[in-house]
């Protein structure tokens, strides 16, 4: 007991020097965004002791490169394929199936260079806008699986829907299929050994991405695997915003009500990159080797598709923020319309300026956000960015028919993006994300029509209403805006 008292006494006496040391490390070694650096310096200065704990759990970044070095090297395995495709396209030997593709070659090439996102144009897509439709389709695909099922989710609840899906996976494992379930350590923190036991005993495999060192507590809380991927037999893949839980069926009516989200099913060779992405994450978690018998460049000649897709992944292990770069490029490339759905709107400076310039340039920019928060600080921070953009001609709408969780960008008549990344700094820099960038006029039209249907359940935020908001709202916005780099 005396030793503990001595340690606490020493810490108390030397707290100012510990704060100075942390500040020096923050400034000279991490090389963060200056805004984020100043915020953490303020936290350390005004909250000595407590600021250190907050930094330890939410801000520490010094071990990031060490943690993800092997993961980054694994990602290089797809580089040769992307580089070969760039060479073929630049030599005019690449056969584009749609005459619109060459007009967007700069976007295609950026993804090839930036994230080695192989461009495929033999895909078909189907969109789901409600949890009931998405999970009915997913369960049907699981029940029809013949070889393997790979599933990766940020949040997986042990509720009725979670049990229904796990039971289906367990049955397939009993039938001898290879079934792997990968869940984020924080998003799946409520899963118990008892809940997973039947699945594991049947031969199913479970991986936990960065599990807490202590239950419910982790100093790696900042790094979240936010991806939602399912690959079945290499013939179907699911990607989008829905996690696994009853609230995603709209059953948590008291807190959220109807849950509005967007998910997609892909058939075609774009599945190969989703499958490769899954195995990179799986290897990072389990340290298992990636079997040479797996076919990662998959093409099904029976798929009558002509949709162009690039699967773009990003995270703390990425050299560049690939999904954010894709969003930025789409925003700056829009000429007529730019429609965005995002539950969290906390753009960094570059995306904010791109949206402002798009609005000033006469582009029809419409951004849809929820009318209710699931994370209050994030919600108030989102509102703080709206005022200047409203003055630039950007239109904002709040979704009134429940909770909007959709992550969709649509520009003009041909390009769209559906995936897991929100339009916020966390998705850009801290979360592991994956999006499909889609090149197709019919897919664009489908998403646009759904956006317009959603507008019927929205309320527009006018500049007059925004300027006359209550003082308490302005205070909440100011505080949340200050914290936005770490939310």
| DSSP notation for 267-311 | ESTTHHHHHHHHHHHHHHHH-----TT---S---TT----EEEEE
Kindly report, residue by residue over 85-121, the tens digit of the pLDDT.
888 877 777 788 888 888 888 999 999 998 889 999 9
The whole-number average pLDDT for the span 368-394 is 82
Going by C-alpha positions, the residue among 159, 155, 227, 225 that lies closest to residue 187 is 155
State whether residue 219 is helix, strand or coil: coil
Q: Does the active-site annotation cover 228?
A: yes
Least confident interval from 98-107, 126-135, 142-151, 187-196: 98-107
- The band of 293, judged by pLDDT with boundaries at 50, 70 and 90, is very low
Residue 87 is predicted with a pLDDT of 83
Note the CATH number of domain 74-91+118-309: 3.30.870.10
User: Of the ranges 153-162, 165-174, 222-231, 259-268, which one carries the lowest mean pLDDT score?
Assistant: 222-231
Has 263 been annotated as catalytic? no
Q: What is the mean pLDDT of the chain?
A: 83
What percentage of the chain carries pLDDT values higher than 70? 76
SS3 assignment, position 364? strand
pLDDT above 60 (res 296): no
* Domains 74-91+118-309 and 322-486 alike in fold: yes
Residue 63 has pLDDT above 50, yes or no: no
Q: Given this model, what pLDDT does residue 214 score?
A: 58
The kind and range of the H/E element at 4 are helix 2-13
275 within 8 A of 296, measured Cβ to Cβ: yes
Cβ 372 vs Cβ 403: under 8 Å: yes
Long-range contacts of 44-50 (CB under 8 A, 24+ apart): 44/19, 45/19, 48/15, 48/16, 48/19, 49/11, 49/15
Catalytic residue among 226, 235, 366, 476: 226
Residue 226 is among the residues annotated as catalytic for this protein: yes
446 vs 121, 129, 151, 413, 474, CA distance in Å? 18, 11, 26, 10, 37
User: What is the pLDDT, as a whole number, of residue 482?
Assistant: 65
Residue 486 confidence (pLDDT) above 60: no
- Measured distance between the N- and C-terminal CA atoms of the chain, rounded to whole angstroms: 38
Residue 277 has pLDDT above 60, yes or no: yes
Joined together, the tokens standing for residue 163 give 């049990």
pLDDT at residue 425 in the model: 87
For residue 207, give every residue at least 6 positions away whose Cβ sits within 8 Å of its Cβ, in sequence order, or none: 180, 181, 182, 183, 282, 285, 286
> What tens digit of pLDDT does each residue of 207-223 get?
999 887 655 444 445 67
Report the share of the chain in percent with pLDDT over 90.
55
Establish how many alpha carbons lie within 13 A of residue 165's alpha carbon, considering only the half-sphere containing its beta carbon.
27
Write the CATH number of the domain with boundaries 322-486: 3.30.870.10
Is residue 407 flagged as an active site residue? Answer: yes
3-state SS class at 262:
strand
Which range in 30-34, 40-44, 222-226, 333-337 is most confidently predicted, on average pLDDT? 333-337
Strand 364-370, strand 395-399: pairing: parallel
Tell me which of 70-74, 200-204, 343-347, 390-394 is least confident.
70-74
What is the reported pLDDT for 40?
53
Catalytic residue of the set 61, 75, 122, 233: 233
What are the pLDDT digits (tens) for 222-260? 678 999 999 999 999 999 999 999 999 998 777 788 999
Domain borders along the chain are 2-62, 74-91+118-309, 322-486
**Which pLDDT value is given to residue 31?**
47
Residue recorded with tokens 């895909």: 123
CA pair distance 384, 346, nearest whole angstrom: 9
Lowest mean pLDDT, pick from 41-45, 66-70, 358-362: 66-70
What are the helix and strand counts (H, E) for the chain?
A: 19, 18
Question: Which of 255-259, 264-268, 412-416, 479-483 is least confident?
Answer: 479-483
Q: How confident is the model at residue 383 (pLDDT cuts 50, 70, 90)?
A: confident
- Between 7 and 242, the more confident residue is 242
Q: From the candidates 317, 325, 412, 454, which is the catalytic residue?
A: 412
The full length of the chain comes to 487
Q: Any catalytic annotation for residue 180?
A: no
133 is catalytic: no
353 burial (CB, 10 Å; 0-12 / 13-18 / 19+) is: middle
Query: In the prediction, which pLDDT does 423 show?
Result: 95
Question: Which residue in the list 116, 180, 407, 476 is annotated as catalytic?
Answer: 407
> What pLDDT score was predicted for residue 160?
96
The residue from 134, 180, 228, 476 that is catalytic is: 228
pLDDT at 91: 75
pLDDT-wise least confident of 24-33, 177-186, 332-341, 367-376: 24-33
Residue pair 439/101 in contact (Cβ under 8 Å)? The answer is yes
User: Which one is predicted more confidently, 194 or 305?
Assistant: 194
**How many other CB atoms are found less than 10 A from the CB of residue 1?**
5
Cα–Cα dist 260/129, whole Å = 6
For every residue of 10-65, DSSP letters joined together read HHHHTHHHHHHHHHHHHHHTS---HHHHHHHHHHHHHSTTHHHHHIIIII--TTHH
Per-residue confidence (pLDDT) for residue 374, from 0 to 100:
64
Long-range pairs, 78-84, Cβ under 8 A, ≥24: 78/116, 78/118, 78/273, 78/276, 79/116, 81/116, 81/118, 81/297, 82/112, 82/113, 82/116, 82/117, 82/118, 83/112, 83/116
């Amino acid at each position: 007991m005396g030793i503990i008292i001595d340690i606490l006494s020493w810490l108390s006496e030397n707290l100012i020097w510990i704060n100075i040391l942390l500040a020096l490390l923050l400034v000279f070694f991490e090389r963060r965004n200056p805004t984020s650096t100043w915020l953490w310096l303020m936290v350390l200065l005004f909250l000595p002791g407590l600021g250190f704990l907050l930094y330890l759990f939410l801000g520490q970044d010094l071990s990031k490169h060490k943690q993800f070095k092997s993961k980054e090297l694994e990602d290089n395995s797809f580089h040769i394929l992307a580089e070969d495709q760039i060479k073929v396209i630049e030599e005019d030997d690449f056969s584009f199936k749609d005459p619109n593709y060459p007009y967007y070659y700069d976007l295609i090439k950026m993804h090839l260079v930036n994230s080695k996102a192989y461009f495929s144009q033999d895909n078909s897509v189907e969109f789901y806008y409600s949890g009931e439709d998405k999970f009915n389709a997913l369960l049907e695909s699981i029940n029809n699986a013949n070889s393997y099922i790979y599933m990766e989710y940020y949040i997986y609840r042990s509720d009725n829907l979670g049990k229904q899906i796990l039971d289906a996976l367990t049955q397939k494992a009993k039938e001898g299929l290879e079934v792997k379930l990968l869940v984020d350590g924080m998003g799946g923190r409520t899963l118990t050994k008892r809940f997973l036991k039947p699945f594991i005993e049947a031969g199913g495999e479970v991986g936990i991405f960065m599990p807490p060192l202590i239950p419910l507590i982790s100093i790696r809380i900042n790094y979240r695997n936010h991806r939602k991927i399912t690959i079945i037999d290499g013939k179907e893949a699911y990607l989008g915003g829905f996690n696994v839980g009853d609230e995603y069926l709209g059953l948590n009516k008291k807190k959220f009500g109807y849950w509005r989200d967007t998910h997609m099913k892909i058939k075609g060779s774009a599945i190969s990159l989703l499958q490769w992405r899954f195995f990179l994450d799986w290897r990072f978690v389990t340290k298992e080797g990636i079997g040479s018998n797996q076919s990662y460049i998959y093409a099904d000649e029976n798929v009558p598709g002509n949709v162009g897709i690039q699967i773009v992944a990003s995270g703390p292990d990425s050299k560049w923020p690939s999904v954010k770069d894709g969003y930025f490029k789409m925003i700056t490339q829009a000429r007529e319309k730019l429609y965005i759905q995002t539950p969290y709107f906390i753009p960094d400076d570059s995306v904010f300026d791109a949206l402002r310039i798009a609005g000033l340039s006469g582009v029809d920019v419409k951004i849809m956000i929820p009318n209710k928060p699931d994370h209050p600080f994030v919600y108030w921070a989102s509102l703080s960015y709206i005022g200047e953009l409203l003055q630039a001609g950007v239109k904002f709408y709040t979704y009134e028919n429940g909770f909007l969780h959709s992550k969709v960008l649509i520009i003009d008549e041909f390009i769209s993006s559906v995936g897991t990344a929100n339009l916020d700094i966390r998705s850009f820099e801290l979360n592991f994300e994956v999006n499909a960038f889609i090149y197709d006029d019919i897919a664009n039209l489908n998403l646009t029509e759904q956006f317009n249907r959603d507008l019927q359940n929205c309320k527009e935020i006018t500049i007059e209403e925004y300027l006359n908001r209550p003082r308490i709202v302005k205070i909440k916005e100011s505080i949340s805006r200050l914290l936005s780099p770490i939310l």
